Structure 1
């Protein structure tokens, strides 16, 4: 009996052990499934290593990471792929996020179209996939007129704007005839008409190179900007992610400079006095709201003597409502000291004053007031718009204008505003020379794999004075120069060189669609964001989101940072082609540097099903 009791007890213990083991293994499997599931989300507290976010993973020190990676040099082997429904994800312009977080936004002020980034617990930790059937984009200049329908499978604009020649579906492609809401017969003819209105020589809107930078507000698919390019005019084509949500995506797929943005409550991320001309063609903006605050934002952005081209029913319609709006706009612009240059057919053109003289002659108490002396008109990141006029500095007031030479001499000439950021003319010239050499070396490094017209949309993620972009002026590309938030003052130098750019905080996602850039250049950026306490891996995932398949990344940073980044290339599918060199030390090198160039693969069906 004693033996039977002992045997029964042993059997029960064995059963308990087996049950416990099964439960334990089940929990382990459940954890691994949730850990590796594409598109899964984790909070910062729940994650470690590569998991953590949309574009801001966890905060880690690069040197700490290197110690961990040395112990486990093969990690990470893979990064999850987001669900296909996220193929057009823009993390900080995600309307679903706004609904889910129940943000209380003022819809009448368009706050829902401004940036609202996900909190740590809702950040994505996965690679954004291309849509089904995605193809390598058609190359420039053919892309101006046609794109693959599979890459942007949205045809509602072609139907909605069928009478305005925005776009036409043609088999497996979408064609762009060059029309717009106001210029059905083509942007090229419209641009010539504007030049004639302004009586520019040869009916050329560039006015001998004096008009170079243009802001096109409510740009549609950016055909206006596309047809300015042959005139050596570069436009920032701006539109929100609204009911026409894919208009900017089409523009970028075409290879036209464009960005997502909205005139709402925050300043646009551009410095003061950046554009010679602002354009609004049926942009449906209420310019009179909030004491004219949106027109005052344009005033901040226009250079001395800059033009505002306005094509809208208020300029020509004779019904009572449009007459009321027209009279109110004229009254406001007169108090802002703008001059009506010409009004013809459906278009009116105003000009901003050259000096402060008119402002000083206004009656006391006239609205809108001048901005206070402590307001920095170049500060834009998360800065609210102000219903006041930004006067010129005393120096600019004396010079009566921007002091800029015409394009293309403007690209290499030292801008007058260098003095405002404490950079000497000699330093500027040396910077230009160094970047010319650096870019030449980059292209030599990529010579074996780069193809004709394979690079069109370029981003310099830490643009400094714009030397990288200036060195690419002999190539048929355009560059989005990005000034990090801690170097925003330098962006005005980029605009004064006749280039374009924006301010951005790389601890957050960039305001663009996935797969919109062919080349990303990051000089010391990873070291900078690591020092700020932001995640290096987050930036890698964000770069992958905005990089096109077959596109290149050029990362120039200190050796320890490059060594760390290199371990992620396979997981990111950036190992289509890789090159790494140790460049020569120059005056811009604060420490030893390495240059890593990698190429992103075009995903196949096998990767998509992982």
Structure 2
């Protein structure tokens, strides 16, 4: 009996202990859940950097980008203070940019785009009012409530099949002059493994800027081209960048100005590349005859002409090229340094027969080291901001000082695209033009001088990356102008990553927090706390002062 009583007492004690453990576990779970709810509600106003997805940006954020604070700015002796934002300066730069935000759309009303690939078929109509108007007018999309749905997928797919069948050659990179259907053509080519950039017809239709804005909203690479009258500025691409150039009803007057615009297409095409023109010329048979004459003068060969689609091929060399009275005029000083912002020249660059020279072993080794470096750096970015690696969170990325394109190459397997910008002037790696090498890697990019506004619509990008950019421009133009331009082109709730010397990052951080009210933190780089180069992560808040005043 004593043994049985002892057993009963042990049984009662065991029952009480289990109940206590269960109650304690429930309390811990409730406390943990309350903590998560509290952090998620307070994230928008805290120092945590947030990325908003799918809702009106100034509404409640339903997703946040959490940063693991391993080396915060305060740890580096940097102060964080708050103060009135300089909204007047921000508005001034935004209004002076090449393409202000769509009429009637304020930053506070901007809605985060649909994730890729859904964004290929549907966008928020209010985010690109000009593009939505152009799309609805041309009947390749329809307005469905507050959304714009594209209805041209089948037609564009069939058209792409015809074009690629007529070209009948491998195409790795293409440029779409005129941004056909607001990026539909480029999106279709990208689904077939062709890296494609849409560019507003710099010498043609007036709605080109609206179509580029729409393409970017859909998550398709696109740029504006600054027009300087006739003749216009050159396209911001290196010579021999593309295997194919396309004009689908782009309304460019190719027959004017002695064929200079076709000569610019010749410049950006690789030897043996193709130019595709579809749709009846706006000026009828006279324009068609002038196009054929200009093409013949550059020794282009007509390879196909079916159902309104004409394909010409650039020669692989100009040896023996003789077009009679219309023989091509070759540019003098072909080896001089390319000036990116000059006007289109009435000449073509001579090319020689034969294969391209093999890459030197030293260049291949430098490229290998560059790839290793940026693999480590991007891994660090994703370790600090883990959701940067989540598929569908980001789409349009901009590398403001691309060097050899290592940042873009390290993200090649992610569902994003990176516009790799090579600063046209400055020191360091810009003494050598690296943009051709970026295209050789199967990437895309453009030239730009960051002392000027970037030729892109406002709110174009989800992430901006700047590696030593502010060191490069330290003695050339005001740092604040570049930061304000970054604010113009970055979407609300999205982020920037800046690598630079700690002293420069301290100034940038104070500007972001004091004057622009962005959330930002500074972290160690891959080489630890002893390295002066640090990484600044900053997230653009949803509204500026003007937007808040309008809401009140």
TM-score (norm 1): 0.69
**2:453 equivalent among 483, 493, 509:** 509
> 1:189: which partner in 2?
158
Taking the aligned partners of 1:83 and 1:152, their CA distance within structure 2 comes to 24
The size of the alignment, in residue pairs, is 459
Shift in Å, 1:158:
3.6
Does residue 161 (structure 1) correspond to residue 150 (structure 2)? The answer is no
Query: Which residue of 219, 226, 239 maps to 2:187?
Result: 226
Match for residue 246 of structure 1?
210
Is residue 136 from structure 1 mapped to residue 103 from structure 2 by the alignment?
no
Task: State yes or no: 1:490 paired with 2:446.
Answer: no
Q: Which residue of 2 aligns with 1:559?
A: 502
What residue number does 1:386 align with? Answer: 345
- 1:203 — aligned with what? none
C-alpha distance in 2, partners of 1:229/1:506? 28
Question: In the TM superposition, what is the alpha-carbon distance from 1:362 to its structure 2 partner?
Answer: 5.5
- Matches of 2:89 and 2:210 in 1, distance apart? 20
CA-atom RMSD, angstroms?
3.2
* Separation in structure 1 between the aligned mates of residue 342 and residue 152 of structure 2, nearest angstrom: 35
Question: Offset of 1:454 from its aligned partner?
Answer: 1.1
1:445–1:553: structure 2 CA closer, same or farther, 3 Å change rule? same
Q: Distance in 2 between matches of 1:354 and 1:292?
A: 20
Match of 1:542 in 2: 485
Is 1:528 paired with 2:472? Answer: yes
Deviations 1:299-350 (A, max 9, x none): 1110011000110214xx9xxx633332332232222111111111111101
Q: 1:92 to 1:172 in 2, by over 3 A?
A: closer
The residue correspondences of 1:114-513 to structure 2 (distance < 5 A) are 130-131=106-107, 133-154=109-130, 155-162=132-139, 165=140, 167-178=141-152, 186-198=155-167, 200=168, 207=169, 210-220=170-180, 221-240=182-201, 243-244=206-207, 245-261=209-225, 264-314=231-281, 322-359=284-321, 361=322, 366-374=326-334, 376=336, 379-392=338-351, 397-399=353-355, 416=359, 424-447=363-386, 451-486=390-425, 487=430, 489-513=433-457
Further displaced range: 459-468 or 481-490:
481-490
Give the CA deviation at 1:450: 6.2
**1:504 Cα deviation after fit:** 0.5
Distance, in Å, in 1 between the alignment partners of 2:457 and 2:538 is: 21
Query: Do the aligned partners of residues 366 and 197 (structure 1) sit closer, same or farther apart at CA in structure 2, a change above 3 Å counting?
Result: closer
CA distances 1:236-294 after superposition (whole Å, capped 9, x unpaired): 10115864242211110110001111674221111110000000111111112121111
Partner secondary structure for residue 404 of structure 2: coil
Contact residue 583 and residue 595 of structure 1 kept, 8 A: no
Q: Partner of 2:367: helix, strand, or coil?
A: helix
For the residue of structure 1 that corresponds to 2:295, the secondary structure is helix
Deviations 1:540-575 (A, max 9, x none): 111111111221111000111111111123245564
SS in 1 for 2:455: coil
Q: CA deviation at 1:424?
A: 2.3
CA distance in 2, matches of 1:329, 1:233: 26
Structure-2 separation of matches of 1:505 and 1:173:
36
Q: Distance in 2 between matches of 1:84 and 1:538?
A: 9
Q: Which has the higher contact order (CA 8 A, sep 6+)?
A: 2
Once residues 432 and 158 of structure 1 are traced to their aligned partners in structure 2, the CA distance between those partners, rounded to angstroms, is: 41
Separation in structure 2 between the aligned mates of residue 506 and residue 389 of structure 1, nearest angstrom: 29
Deviation at 1:230, TM superposition (A): 1.0
C-alpha contact 1:307 1:352 (8 A) present in aligned 2: yes
Q: What is the aligned partner in structure 2 of residue 204 from structure 1?
A: none
**Match runs of 1:27-46 below 5 Å:** none
Tell me, yes or no, if structure 1 residue 601 matches structure 2 residue 544. Answer: no
Deviation of the 1:135 alpha carbon: 1.7
